[in-house]
Amino acid sequence: MPIEILMPALSPTMEEGTLAKWLVKEGDSVASGDLLAEIETDKATMEFEAVDEGVVGKLLVADGTEGVKVNTAIAILLEDGESVDDAVTTPPAAAKPTAAPEVSAPVPVAVSAPPVAQKGGSRIFASPLARRIAADKGLDLNTVAGSGPHGRIVKADVSGAAVTKPAPAAAPPTLAAGPATDVVLKTYADREYQEIPLNGMRKIIAARLTEAKQTIPHFYLRRDIQLDALLAFRSQINKQLAARDIKLSVNDFIIKACALALQQVPAANAVWAGDRILQLTPSDVAVAVAIEGGLFTPVLRDADTKSLSSLSTEMKDLATRARDRKLAPHEYQGGSFAISNLGMMGIDNFDAVINPPHGAILAVGAGAKKPIVGEDGELGIATVMSVTLSVDHRVIDGALGAELLAAIKGNLENPIAMLV
């Protein structure tokens, strides 16, 4: 029986995507693991691999087609002796609901048919037709004994097997609440404007930030941090690193300072998991990166154990690939803490919105020369940077948040200690 190749869900937030480019053509033979197409998700452009082997009988969706719903048939794969006329087109399955990224969210794998089941950690061998029938019936192949050669599951094994009902899907998040579209259009009917459709990323940003502000009890802690010692140390170390073509930024020090602070205050290295709190052991720090039409928050894993030069190199690579939308899902999922730095854009201070399930996010403003009163009571001038820590009160209480922010401040004002 011909196999329908379905539009895969390549990220937890993907409901539809763009079939950017086919890498095969009709009549091509493909094997498991061969690249079939490039798919643009709401976050990135990713390659799509085949699971089954066969011949590409028909491409149902053309290159460049936008808005292809997840689980819609996009091509037909044939086995020996089959033709496209044998294909039975099934109604497109409902798009997978969007959800907040989990602490260790599994990365969905692109498939051309229902995934091969696993039993006891080993592959279950089943014919493509058997897998298709099992998927249509909602049947778990782990519960089926195969009667074919070498225990292979065939059509007869699944045709009369008991059906298991799939768990009900959660409702997808809605976009930001506000006046109805027709009301807004009527209000501005006599004014000139350009209508900009929402792309996948902007829809997700609207839904996620609305969810964050409506469901997370934010509170905010603010402190001023003196940067003169850090700037002097940075200048000195950059001279020594010039021969290696490495130049550390202030942001690199901020990442390191936050990662170490999460180790110094481990109770704050936590995320909200619905009915419980997960306290992480490593310091996985997300950093907001602005791109055209939205933003990414790539995650620097184990940031507390990495050198400043390693963090700098990794951050530059992640930022570059984020702007090109070439990040893999595991590179922007996870983390317990985030940094949003608008200081380079001249912003003195601001309040950032927590990215669930993170416990906190640090909003970083610009460093500027300001008058200060020294420890000796004398008036002086220092480079001062204002930061605001947005905290999820379900995860971190006020005193704990203050302790975390004090640790960040201490690390940045004593940068040499971060190398010890």
Beta strands in 70-215 (DSSP E): 73-78, 118-119, 122-123
**Residue pair 260/307 in contact by the 8 Å Cβ criterion:** no
Helix (H, G, I), strand (E, B) or coil at 367: strand
Structure-token pair, residue 348: 């003195």
The residue written with tokens 């500027």 in the block is 368
CA atoms within 13 A on the CB side of 359: 30
Secondary structure of residue 289 in the 3-state scheme? strand
Residue 17 · residue 89 · CB < 8 Å: no
Helix (H, G, I), strand (E, B) or coil at 84: helix
User: Which among 124, 128, 129 has a CA at the least distance from the CA of 145?
Assistant: 124
| Residue 393 known to be catalytic | yes
Catalytic position from the list 150, 218, 358, 393: 393
Give the bridge partners for 122, in sequence order. Answer: 119
DSSP 212: H
Structure tokens at 87: 């294909």
CA distance 415 to 168: 51
DSSP-assigned letter for residue 141? G
User: Which amino acid does the sequence have at 309?
Assistant: S
Q: What is the Cα–Cα distance from 397 to 130, expressed in whole angstroms?
A: 53
Q: For 238-286, what is the HEC assignment?
A: HHHHHHHCCCCCHHHHHHHHHHHHHHHCHHHCEEECCCCEEECCCCCEE
Buried b (16+ CB within 10 A) or exposed e, 29-63: ebeeeeebbbbbbbbbbbebbbbbebbbbbbbbee
CA atoms lying within 13 Å on the CB side of residue 172: 17
Active site residues: 393
